[in-house]
Amino acid sequence: MGSPKMAAIIVVAALLMLSPSQAQLSPFFYATTCPQLPFLVLNVVAQALETDDRAAAKLIRLHFHDCFVNGCDGSILLVDVPGVIDSELNGPPNEGIQGMDIVDNIKATVESACPGVVSCADILAISSQISVFLSGGPIWVVPMGRKDSRIANRTGTSNLPGPSETLVGLKRKFRDQGLDSTDLVALSGAHTFGKSRCMFFSDRLDNFNQTGRPDPTLDPIYREQLRTVCATQQTQQPRANFDPVTPTRFDKAYYNNLVSLRGLLQSDQELFSTPRADTTAIVRNFAANERAFFKQFVKSMIKMGNLKPPPGIASEVRLDCKRVNPVRMGSFTFFLFFVCILFVTSYAQLTENFYEQTCPRLPNIVRREVKRAIETDIRAGAKLIRFHFHDCFVQGCDGSVLLEDPPGFESELNGLGNLGIQGLEIVDAIKAAVERECPGVVSCADILAQASKDSVDVQGGPSWRVLYGRRDSRTANKTGADELPSPFEDLPPLQKKFRDVGLNSTDLVALSGAHTFGRSRCLFFSGRFSNFSGSGQPDPTLDPTYRQELERACTGPETRVNFDPTTPDTFDKNYYTNLLANKGLLQSDQVLFSTQGAETVEIVRRMASRQETFFRQFRLSMIKMGNIKPLTGNQGEIRRSCRRVNDLGGETGHDVM
């Protein structure tokens, strides 16, 4: 790497690849320059959704309207500069467009971590993906590497599809962008969430196309509902939900609505009601099969996200998404970023579709086995999620916690943090069921991730789409298991241990919420009764009445007591309500709320006040934790038995040394 000849080769290769067109988009574009980008964006979008359930729809609309005018270049975000920039926001199709404040917050967060690196165009692309995912839709790997335009094209906003457009006009505008009828129907499915102003469809209620009559393709009952919605809002710009059934969820209900003549905009209903149109069958397919919709939506989003600006347009990485940089970023800076990418040799990403071909029924198999286990042991769910936590916190999510004294190593099960851990027989049963249908395919690490999700979901908690592709470790780390978060821990060491694996205080509070179900042995909290921290007094942060109840329940150190005395077997927000009442079972629970001046106090209050806030953050934090240093690609192996590594020289197709 140090020789001038080698440097020259790299420079020539980079210049050839970058000229005359933009470099190819890649999911790994920021792998070295801003690897934390997805989580930075995810946290801001999640916070936005807490206060504005339309935030996701606003972000994806900005991305659509950006890509349809001069390609995906962030030009939609530029504000007016007299005599220089006539903003696309002034174009009639962008009237009332919202969400710029959310983009500003995302950009500020990203800039604080990775200054001058990530384009606004890429922020729109990844925030759209995250918006869909957080609203219950599919997830996909976003190709990145877009640059931000230094110009806007207000005239080009006429290329945007209008709410009163006929199917012929819609198809032409999509075709002009290289998108076909299937893309048109799939991308229109983003109208499964969000709202529209009544002005964009009110003519359908009474005077469609100046006929003096309602639109004949609008269901009469739905028409009257819309008339009421638009008439009763005390605002100058009344709005109606695109989907009256699940208005904030990304699902296939949009297409069911079209089949029932309940599309909100004319441009929506045209997809189904235009006689002999090829789009009708596509709508029917998506209405019947959500998986088909999600799969095509992902393809069409990636296809749209690849729309490139015309050649010769000056570009940069904007420091402020609303304004071009005062001094254009030099091409050499971009070259340095690109050279970094050349040296990324492996940056595997987990994906939702990893087993789509090799074990498509995996989620169903695991869920069935988890439900069976919970039917016979109500603590099964808590046992499984504890395994996943303790696995990921020690050398990453690699299934190492399951190994029983591997040759040359000491099992993590012997570590202090795993004292009394249970549930291996449940993992064995799940693994056996998976192996019967998909032998040698699914890792034990992925089984823990899926089983944790199902454990939460089955017992009343949130659901999420599990990302797969982890491999199983051939080693264990008992020392690491000794350092797992402890039930006797104060807040600062808890925060440090979470920080050491890339998790913040919000993740700490959210993931601790798994103590809303399950039980703990008395030996882990009985020190709070009478001689807390050697004081000779009870823990002052433990409610006295609750303390007396616990003392009566603890007939010995091995006795187990429910974490939540109110709804012990349901996954809900009561864990946080208990903390507010000084009824956290473990010291490490109560310190989240009772540590004076701690940032965690307000997070606990927020999650105690609204269950959806807890559920949403728990989903995010579980996905984030599940991404801690997984083995991927050719690393590790796929164990045949979760308790032991595959035999050296054993069956082929399973082991990777």
Q: Does residue 366 have a known ligand-binding role?
A: no
Which residues make Cβ contacts (< 8 Å) with residue 509, sequence separation at least 6?
592, 600, 603, 604, 607, 617
Q: Does residue 567 have a known ligand-binding role?
A: yes
Q: Does residue 274 have a known ligand-binding role?
A: no
* Surface-to-core class of residue 180, CB atoms within 10 Å of its CB (0-12 exposed, 13-18 middle, 19+ buried): middle
Whole-number Å distance between alpha carbons of 445 and 625: 13
Q: Does residue 52 have a known ligand-binding role?
A: no
Helix or strand holding residue 257 (H, E): helix 253-259
Q: Does residue 344 have a known ligand-binding role?
A: no
Question: For residue 562, what are the β-bridge partners?
Answer: 519
Which residues make Cβ contacts (< 8 Å) with residue 43, sequence separation at least 6?
109, 506, 620
Beta strands, E only, 412-547 = 519-521
> Exposed e or buried b for every residue in 367-392, given b needs 16+ CB within 10 A?
bebbeebbeeeebbbbbbbbbbbbbb
417-to-302, 479, 561 alpha-carbon distances in Å: 43, 10, 19
Q: Does residue 111 have a known ligand-binding role?
A: no
Q: What are phi and psi of 597, to 5 degrees?
A: 75, 5
Q: Does residue 489 have a known ligand-binding role?
A: no
In the three-class reduction of DSSP (H, G, I as helix; E, B as strand; rest coil), residue 239 is classed as strand
Whole-number Å distance between alpha carbons of 15 and 11: 6
CB atoms within 10 A of CB 537: 10
Beta strands, E only, 393-493 = none
In the three-class reduction of DSSP (H, G, I as helix; E, B as strand; rest coil), residue 472 is classed as strand
- Report the Cα–Cα distance between both ends of the chain, in Å, rounded: 29
In the three-class reduction of DSSP (H, G, I as helix; E, B as strand; rest coil), residue 85 is classed as strand
Which residues make Cβ contacts (< 8 Å) with residue 477, sequence separation at least 6?
394, 395, 400, 409, 412
Is the N-terminal amide bond of 310 cis, ω within 30° of 0? no
Go through the chain and tell me how many residues it has.
657
Q: Does residue 63 have a known ligand-binding role?
A: no
Q: Does residue 396 have a known ligand-binding role?
A: yes
Cα-Cα-Cα-Cα torsion 14, 19, 25, 29, nearest 10 degrees, comes to: 30
Q: Does residue 391 have a known ligand-binding role?
A: yes
Q: Does residue 572 have a known ligand-binding role?
A: yes
User: Amino acid identity, residue 197?
Assistant: R
Contact 615, 606 (CB under 8 A): no
Contact 204, 215 (CB under 8 A): yes
- DSSP β-ladder status, 519-521 and 560-562: antiparallel
Q: Does residue 400 have a known ligand-binding role?
A: yes
Place of tokens 């000849």: 5
From 63, 388, 390, 654, the catalytic residue: 390
562-to-382, 459, 565, 567 alpha-carbon distances in Å: 11, 15, 6, 9
Active site residue 388: no
CB atoms within 10 A of CB 108: 12
Q: Residue positions in the annotated binding site?
A: 391, 394, 396, 398, 400, 412, 485, 515-516, 564, 567, 572
Q: Residue positions in the annotated binding site for substrate?
A: 485
Q: Residue positions in the annotated binding site for heme b?
A: 515
- Cite the active site residues: 390
